[in-house]
Structure 1
């Protein structure tokens, strides 16, 4: 078994080093994290930043692309960029990360300096997110949801690729961490339910639906953002947000972060497949996650996201997409 050597920063204070051969509930985390308000975050997210987010002055035309990590964040950022440029994202020099920056990682002054309309990327659960408290500061949220089993697999490779996590475990251990909500941004189930049950103006999009029916979903995104949309723009957006196109696009493939990655690691844009979890989960692991999914999500949410109550099994979370189809994570 791999040996984990990492540390946790709990509310701004380092909580010692750990070294053990496998993780069990109640053990310290086997990866390097910042713990803010009880939620594990990437070490790029500082405790001080988490504290100041609730005081951020949102504007009525602000939009937050809200996702649990590895749910199609970069894909949606590219779709938004395509819509903003009427299908010609190559005319903009900025990367998707510069156009729609990671809100929790930004300095407050940089967020304040952005010109409106501002579009941010965010990985905060609802209770920790920036939100307006007056009618003229109520903003919008674009929430992308993905089958948690595919999220788990994608997040595992994400941890193995970036050296800052200092994670050396294998998938069985990581699956346990994910099921128990001990990965970046905490419990997938709590995160998703927090956004589903909130009273803000939220457009919920599933990764699977976006893959299966992009010509139907993309106009909904454009309308939500107040952007022009027609068949030509939709066609160009589908083409230029495809996995194959983005993988070779230096402004959307995240290669600018290669200096934070282990040499020889799998690419940031690895597969983006619907149903890739089948090649990683054992039957026992799959049933355990299904049980937590049934326990911690509501039938109303399941029907709203996937069109049916899939409480018994996540096998049904496919949309109409071929399970070998590819989309960016």
Structure 2
């Protein structure tokens, strides 16, 4: 079994899997944002793929061509991954991009451009559970061990991309004015058509009345779970072993309630609250 040190490199304090990153971040640091770029920002397992798919269909007014023929990670590439450089250069404007990095790590061009940011938040208890299963099937990540062991690593930031609280604090305090939109995984589950409308309005991309329910239908969990361009099933088993756990597992809110016992819930909630003490923002859901 590979150790944490063997599996991860560190960039500005964040643990990143060596299997998907090079140690050269010059391309990222010099990345040039364009004024019409759209950046999806998430902490891992917060609805990244979901937002990528919605964004693709919103920008294409519900046309399914790209959605059904190009994998989501190529349509909306991660800007921190050097391997995606060529794909990003070939994208037509407006470009859809993504990142799991913190706000204070962003290239200077984000601040000088007019690029828009969509930040997706999710209840950290559900992120914990989803990430636990993802670590079981993603062979480029450290084996999670027991749920207790993994929760300890998660709270200490010994997981890829570090602490959830650091991520949320950095972007909640981002000085981007009306260029950033915050939306939650939970509100997308509760009313996806309304969320699609809100996203299209933020992007000033008018959709027809017919397009909104169509986008919501094709971006439903069942539809994406069956879409090979969304579900990562085309990747080799050596990268992601879907026999251990599917990449798209449940797509629900509140799954933590059947995984965490009362002691784990108390410990987790206490740790998160302590990390967020003194912040000038409130979370959109109760941690209890």
- The answer on whether the counterparts of 1:132 and 1:138 sit within 8 Å (CA) in structure 2 is no
SS at match of 1:104: coil
Q: 1:94 to 1:262 in 2, by over 3 A?
A: closer
Paired residue for 1:48, among 8, 24, 34? 24
Q: 1:6 to 1:85 in 2, by over 3 A?
A: same
Unaligned runs of 5+ in 2: none
Moved more, 103-112 or 282-291: 103-112
* 1:193 aligned residue: 169
* 2:97 aligned residue: 120
- The answer on whether the counterparts of 1:53 and 1:128 sit within 8 Å (CA) in structure 2 is no
Q: For residues 147 and 28 of structure 2, what CA distance do their matches in structure 1 show?
A: 33
* 2:32 aligned residue: 57
TM-score (normalizing by structure 1):
0.79
* 2:13 aligned residue: 38
Q: For residues 219 and 295 of structure 1, what CA distance do their matches in structure 2 show?
A: 36
- The answer on whether the counterparts of 2:27 and 2:82 sit within 8 Å (CA) in structure 1 is no
Shift of 1:38: 1.1
Paired residue for 2:274, among 270, 280, 295? 295
Q: For residues 214 and 121 of structure 1, what CA distance do their matches in structure 2 show?
A: 21
SS at match of 1:182: coil
- The answer on whether the counterparts of 1:203 and 1:224 sit within 8 Å (CA) in structure 2 is yes
* 1:318 aligned residue: none
Q: For residues 134 and 280 of structure 1, what CA distance do their matches in structure 2 show?
A: 40
Moved >3 Å (runs of 4+): 106-110
- The answer on whether the counterparts of 1:132 and 1:139 sit within 8 Å (CA) in structure 2 is no
Aligned: 1:241 with 2:216: no
Q: 1:125 to 1:91 in 2, by over 3 A?
A: closer
Paired residue for 1:169, among 138, 145, 162? 145
Q: For residues 34 and 69 of structure 1, what CA distance do their matches in structure 2 show?
A: 17
SS at match of 1:71: coil
* Aligned length, in residue pairs: 281
* 1:11 aligned residue: none
- The answer on whether the counterparts of 1:254 and 1:268 sit within 8 Å (CA) in structure 2 is yes
- The answer on whether the counterparts of 1:88 and 1:236 sit within 8 Å (CA) in structure 2 is no
SS at match of 1:48: coil
> Deviation per CA, 1:6-27, whole angstroms, max 9, x where unpaired?
242xxxxxxxx6xxxxxxxxxx
Paired residue for 1:251, among 208, 215, 229? 229
Q: For residues 65 and 47 of structure 1, what CA distance do their matches in structure 2 show?
A: 23
Q: For residues 198 and 236 of structure 2, what CA distance do their matches in structure 1 show?
A: 33
- The answer on whether the counterparts of 1:67 and 1:144 sit within 8 Å (CA) in structure 2 is yes
Paired residue for 2:64, among 76, 81, 89? 89
User: Which of the two has higher C-alpha Rg?
Assistant: 1
Give the alignment's Cα RMSD to 1 decimal: 2.1
Q: 1:105 to 1:133 in 2, by over 3 A?
A: closer
SS at match of 2:101: coil
- The answer on whether the counterparts of 2:136 and 2:244 sit within 8 Å (CA) in structure 1 is yes
Aligned: 1:6 with 2:15: no
- The answer on whether the counterparts of 2:33 and 2:109 sit within 8 Å (CA) in structure 1 is yes
Paired residue for 1:68, among 18, 43, 61? 43
* 1:111 aligned residue: 88
Shift of 1:119: 0.9
Aligned: 1:140 with 2:120: no
Q: Which has the bigger relative contact order, CA under 8 A and spacing at least 6?
A: 2
Q: For residues 98 and 239 of structure 1, what CA distance do their matches in structure 2 show?
A: 22
Q: For residues 56 and 192 of structure 1, what CA distance do their matches in structure 2 show?
A: 23
Shift of 1:262: 3.0
Shift of 1:151: 0.3
- The answer on whether the counterparts of 1:71 and 1:144 sit within 8 Å (CA) in structure 2 is yes
TM-score (normalizing by structure 2):
0.90
SS at match of 1:144: strand
